[in-house]
Amino acid sequence: MSLQDNLTMTNFAQAAANLWGSWANPPVAAGQHRREWRRQRIIAMINAAAAFMVAPTVSFEDTGGSNGSFGWSAWTLRLRKDRTIDGGLSYADFVMYCRTMYHETRHAEQFYRIAQGLGAGTLKYPDTSSQGTVQAITSTG
């Protein structure tokens, strides 16, 4: 399984479409905030897409205007929090937000695959950095 699989992409897109259908007026429980309902659904979408690996922790933060980013050292997907507060989010902004979620989760998968390769012994670590290669070439001349 991979985030590159058509089935995974289709399931994520369907979950996003379902979320959009309730975005403006979510069926919240008594005492639950609409933003929390939205955030729970987003986390569930990401966890379902990344079920084959350890899914990144999702945090909703101020992101300086970007829709989100992935931090491999903390294994955290940071998503723009104000997107989940506004029920009047445009469809175009919602689509870009979902695109960012998927894209950044793909970065998590890339690091996961690297870890698999290291664990299996098919990748060598540490790899020579480009700076080290340049130094080795220039020191022999």
In a domain, 1, yes or no: no
| Token pair listed for 101 | 């979620």
| Token pair listed for 130 | 């480009």
User: What is the C-alpha to C-alpha distance for residues 137 and 12, in angstroms, rounded to an integer?
Assistant: 47
User: pLDDT tens digits for the chain (141 residues)?
Assistant: 899 999 999 999 999 999 999 999 899 888 889 999 999 999 999 999 999 999 999 999 999 989 999 999 999 999 999 999 977 899 999 999 999 999 999 999 999 998 888 888 787 766 556 566 566 666 655
In a domain, 71, yes or no: yes
Its pTM stands at 0.83
User: What is the C-alpha to C-alpha distance for residues 128 and 124, in angstroms, rounded to an integer?
Assistant: 10
Q: 16, 99 in Cβ contact below 8 A? A: no
| Residue-range definition of the domain harbouring residue 104 | 6-139
User: What is the C-alpha to C-alpha distance for residues 65 and 100, in angstroms, rounded to an integer?
Assistant: 12
User: How many domains are contained in the chain?
Assistant: 1
Q: Residue 34: helix, strand or coil by DSSP?
A: helix
